[in-house]
Structure 1
Amino acid sequence: MTLAGLCLALMSGCRSEAPESIAFLAVSDGYWEVWVTDDEGRSPRKLSDFKADVSRISWFPDGNTLLVNLHDGRMFRLDADSGEASAVQAPMPGILDAVVSPDGRQATFSLSTADSIDNNDIWTFDLSTGGLNKLTSMARLQHEPTWSSDGAQVYFLSGRGGQTHDIWRADVATRETEQLTVNALYHFDLAARPDGALAYSGNQTGNYDLWIRHPDGRAEQLTDDPELDARPTWSPDGKALAFESTRDGNIDIWRYDLGSSELKRLTEMPEGARHPVWSPVHGGER
């Protein structure tokens, strides 16, 4: 950046030369709030002040706004620059796992209407009209939905007891479901890449490590550490993952480069950091 450019940035209240592209959760005043940082972990900045625990975050497609789901079921749009929050009218109370669709028009979430957390189903709703679409009516727990990159399908997890927790997908238009893994121990934290590859955290080897399920069904292990690796999120170009890990004792955000297998720690928060979500806008430019 030139001296003139630096001066202009300072005059305009610019916070950092590097664009902030990864949102994550970290503790502030006893609550899990929303923070943002660039993809090198420089100058993390607190964004929200809900004074309540945030449980799920996702980016709208322009990279300017986040959909925030609080632990109590409330939802908000959160401006990624100002931190201004505006309430989203929920179609039903108790919504969990809410994430915005790639076109920004819908959200998918999990919810139990049977007063039991073990009977959650997957739903979508229109953010403008509130119109509801129930995607699943399966036995036991369906949760952690995530969108395919084209918004035509929703991947989710289904736990039917025992020692398995499998990956499924549902067609948004037809509601047809397909089971992608069968009795393959525990899978969590799905993240879909445009080519259909799914990143997830799995315990097939006894520890929760990062894996990829390729479009042909082949499973590839990426990390191998006795501590927890979880919550992967794809970079916009699909060449890296950000994730949460306890591999250095504290839970913090790390980055994994698929080409080199290089690992880099991105945060060192006093009370930990978790649930990274990479902006869909390349480089976080807004």
Structure 2
Amino acid sequence: MSSGLQICLSFILLTQLPDTTERSPISVEELWLKLTLSGSRQRLSLVIADFTTPRGTKSDTVSLVAQLQQVFTADLRFSLYFTFEEPESGKVYNFPTDPKKPDLKGWATTGAQILICGDYVPRKGNAQLNLRLYDLASSRLIASKPYNLRPEWRWLAHQMADDVIKLLTGEDGVSCTRIAFSRALAAGNKELAVVDYDGANLEQITGSGGLKLFPDWAPDGNRIAYCAYGTSSLNCYLLDLTNRKVAVISERTGLNTTPAISPDGKTIALSLSFEGNSEIYLLDINGRNLRRLTNHPAIDISPTWSPNGRQLAFVSDRTGTPQIYIINVDGTDLHRLTFAGSYNTSPVWSPKGDLIAFVQRQPDGANQICVTNILGDSYLRLTYQGNNEEPTWSPDGLHLAFTSNRTGTWEIWTMDWNGANQRQITRTGGAFSPTWSPRLRR
């Protein structure tokens, strides 16, 4: 066991789980060093025993427990913090997991550092699933926590996974997050919809008709800014998810578009054209106290906040083609970020602060997602199939969601920060402009 893991386990031993991470392209290894700051993190090796149910348990409950374990395991795999020890094809691990006498020496032969067990405990009116974690090097219990089963069992699995991630790594997971997007329903009609980060539980959250575009999730998780066409202009609104009420952010003449809510939730950056060409402005979240940030004959659009709220990146064609620029929120230190490629759009700043994802038009005309460091001196292309646009970061900065037409229709996909593990999460017939929520509570 690594010294880092020993220190971690000694600190958390027998604790409870919490109640509820053209210039030369940068190498993947160098980007990983930038992303993790030290590059010293090692993935913990897990083995997950089959969750148990007592004899005589109804078959539908046995199936539910198995499904819950599948979602829980998928969440841990998605996190990128762990590796998994699994038996050879056609074989299973049969070491006992009885809470009173688990065969920890047997489980240690799998090569894993941590064993995770789950037990279904029937109770009148309040059945539970008890989760246990063991350090296999020292054969000691790390933590144990009972979870009350409830109809929203997938969300329960997400909460369990995030609790384990927090316990073992000290980082907040993203299992309890959702992705909002603009869903095409018919010609001239796009409504806002949300899914869990893994694509489950599709829910439409608007239904007034027309086009709902460019959603952006507020850091409190309870509000989404978006754009919709009024009688004569594209306007900006704020949807309260707790009561579905809509407030006006800006209905000025011309375009009111691409809203981005600040990390503290108090300010909205957006592009307005009421004074002529499109410029970047700042507004209080209630739509008051307008401040102009840029002033140039070119088009300035698509602002994105740095995680400390002190800077914005945005798109401008002031050099003739769209490129990405960075500016302080007081209007100082304006400078160009992207130089590779002649058409770069849709910037989004990583929550870790050191990377910006964006869309770059390729020589073949296709749009592909890239990432660059904030100095703009190196970048990495992440996508290659079809057109891939409108990236959005997960709250931990380890994943991106985006829209792609590689299957023939625009749908939402996710991938790791380095372009690995790309997978489709929606099948709606038209999904655009994803925005990844902060961590949510239920």
Taking structure 2 as the reference length, the TM-score comes to: 0.57
Q: Matched residues in 1 for 2:251 and 2:419: separation?
A: 45
**Counterpart in 2 of 1:85?**
245
Two-structure CA RMSD over aligned residues (Å): 2.5
Q: Which of these residues, 255, 280, 286, is aligned with residue 414 of structure 2? A: 255
**Counterpart in 1 of 2:438?**
280
Shift of 1:75: 3.1
1:28 aligns with 2:189: no
Counterpart AA for 2:392: T
1:238 aligns with 2:423: no
Q: Matched residues in 2 for 1:129 and 1:32: separation?
A: 24
| Superposed CA offset, 1:82-117 (max 9, x none) | 5x12212427344111221111111111112355xx
**Counterpart in 2 of 1:59?**
217
**Counterpart in 2 of 1:229?**
388
Q: Which of these residues, 249, 253, 257, is aligned with residue 96 of structure 1? A: 257
Q: Which is further off, 43-52 or 261-270?
A: 43-52
Q: Matched residues in 2 for 1:78 and 1:15: separation?
A: 27
Q: 1:278 to 1:70 in 2, by over 3 A?
A: same
1:181 aligns with 2:338: yes
1:108 aligns with 2:269: yes
Alpha-carbon contact 1:25-1:276 (below 8 Å) kept:
yes
Alpha-carbon contact 2:249-2:286 (below 8 Å) kept:
no
Q: 1:87 to 1:129 in 2, by over 3 A?
A: closer
Larger helix percent: 2
Q: Matched residues in 1 for 2:372 and 2:435: separation?
A: 19
Q: 1:47 to 1:178 in 2, by over 3 A?
A: same
Q: Matched residues in 2 for 1:5 and 1:110: separation?
A: 52
1:158 aligns with 2:280: no
Q: Matched residues in 1 for 2:314 and 2:261: separation?
A: 14
**Counterpart in 2 of 1:69?**
227
Q: Matched residues in 1 for 2:153 and 2:261: separation?
A: 27
**Counterpart in 1 of 2:106?**
none
Q: Matched residues in 1 for 2:394 and 2:435: separation?
A: 9
Q: How many residues align?
A: 274
**Counterpart in 2 of 1:190?**
347
Q: 1:67 to 1:5 in 2, by over 3 A?
A: farther
Counterpart AA for 1:45: E
Shift of 1:181: 2.3
Alpha-carbon contact 1:212-1:219 (below 8 Å) kept:
yes
Which ranges in structure 2 are unaligned for 5 or more consecutive residues? 1-67, 69-119, 129-147, 159-175
Shift of 1:275: 0.8
Counterpart AA for 2:237: F
Which ranges in structure 1 are unaligned for 5 or more consecutive residues? none
Alpha-carbon contact 1:91-1:130 (below 8 Å) kept:
no
**Counterpart in 2 of 1:208?**
367
